[in-house]
Amino acid sequence: MEALELARWQFGLTAGLHFLFVSLTLGMAPIIAYMQTRHLFTGREVFDRLTRYWGQVYVINYALGVITGIVMEFQFGVSWSGLAHYAGDLFGAPLALETISAFFLESTFLGVWIFGWGILPRWLHLASFYVVTATAYLSAFWIMSANGFMQNPVGFRPREDGTLELTDFAAVLANEGALPALGHVSAASLGVGGFFVAGASAWHFLRGTAERELFRRSLRTGVVVGWLGVWVAVVSGFPQLAFTQGQPGKSAALGGDGDALARLQAELTEQVGYAVSVPPVWLSAPFLVMQSIGYLMWVIGTIAIVLFYRGWLERNRTMLYTLLFVVPLPYVAVFCGWIIREMGRQPWLIHGEVTVNQGVTDASTGSMLFSLIAFVTVFGVLAVVDVVLIWGAVRRGPDRAFLGENEAGERIAAGAVGDTGDRDVVIPLSDAVPSEQRASHSGTEPGLRSQSAGKE
């Protein structure tokens, strides 16, 4: 492979893997906000425990996702310095705003939320997570604005030296290549987060959990959120197909039209003066996979919702196994979507303005191969660590959640509904764990419901 192909593989793999972290973060944030809101207004302990349990999964995934994001940004300087040269004014502005107005706020308020149990009033503690959720989606907006400009450049004028000058920032933000895609990506992320929560809850039912009421609520919440997310993603995907008509290469590749791609390659090669690589004809395969997964997950979600009736879902082992084993499918669909979006833009780095040949850093094949191996290795290690830590948190159950505990491992109570901040109230872990749950850990009476469920 030449340096250009290695650089493209590097960006494709790192961006795709990074977004798998991001999709779970975007998908789980509204679920946790909903659970904590229910706790604030009902005072039921089950919602507090759900918030802590799923919140720790969110924190683990967020922390690893931040690291992958930082690593990924290094490659812009390493492999794609031409992007900054030709379009730094336009591409850099949304990324800078994402860092300043979204990422810093999100990280700060997440820290407030993590360490605010028993210190902040309950309404203020909840408000901090609403800020986390809002800024997560604000971050996605800025990223999609930058990516949307690469797909559909607007709000600029070319200078004599070939670089691009920003003339209308509002046009960049309202870009039809960004806003519809943001809605599609956000909905797909809800599918990822919802079915992840549902699948993990199903696993606990299959294991004969004593926390039936707690996992019944998270199972149903996950199914509903995942089903709605997939449905909106499918519906919002059709306008994306209409948008591809402005990108002949992507449109031809999705249709598997090899002849049209060959003609386009000849035309573009003549236009730019050197050989270019148009979208591959096999791009129709991930497109078919993405669509099929969307329809399949919608059907599975619909059946699961029907089984809510009289608690059939929690007793139907076939459906529980189905929800468990389909957890990876929304991830696959999201990854396929990014392959289509980015590979379909080729040979343009910025569609119609800057080719990938112009944007790639002038580096040797050996150095580019080294950076590819280094980046992919780091991302692979982080992905494995993320899976191991999340699986450990899911498997241990809600009574070993670290959120809201003091240094002695005691759970900090949230206080009464409407309080102004009962502070530093702690519950010993032995009292926080329902007696039936402790019995199940010791091997006796594993099928009993928890006290928190019985109180309701």
212-260 per-position pLDDT tens digit: 999 999 999 999 999 999 999 999 988 888 778 788 899 999 988 999 9
Asked whether the beta carbons of 149 and 178 are under 8 A apart, the reply is yes
Q: Tens digits of per-residue pLDDT, 311-364?
A: 999 999 999 999 999 999 999 999 999 899 888 888 998 988 889 888 888 888
Nearest to 129 by CA among 425, 414, 446: 414
| % of the chain exceeding 70 in pLDDT | 88
User: Are 233 and 188 contacting, i.e. CB atoms less than 8 angstroms apart?
Assistant: yes
H-helix or E-strand containing 418? none
| CA 253/CA 248 separation, integer angstroms | 9
pLDDT of residue 414: 57
Please tell me which of 90-99, 182-191, 335-344 the model is most confident about, judged by mean pLDDT.
182-191
pLDDT band at 19 (very low <50, low <70, confident <90, very high): confident
Contacts of 330 (CB under 8 A, 6+ apart): 23, 188, 191, 192, 195, 196, 226, 230, 293, 297
Per-range mean pLDDT, top range of 95-104, 381-390, 413-422: 381-390
Q: Write the CA distances from 129 to 34, 126, 227, 253, integer angstroms.
A: 10, 5, 24, 42
Q: Helix 284-306 to helix 317-325 angle, to the nearest 10 degrees?
A: 150
Start-to-end CA distance of the chain, whole Å, equals: 63
**What's the pLDDT at 385?**
92
Quick check: 456 pLDDT over 90?
A: no
Q: Are 22 and 63 in contact (CB under 8 A)?
A: no
For the segment 195-209, the average pLDDT, to the nearest whole number, is: 96
How far apart (Å, rounded) are the C-alpha atoms in residues 192 and 222?
10
Distance, in Å, from the CA atom of 319 to the CA atom of 297, rounded to the nearest integer, reads 12
pTM of the model: 0.86
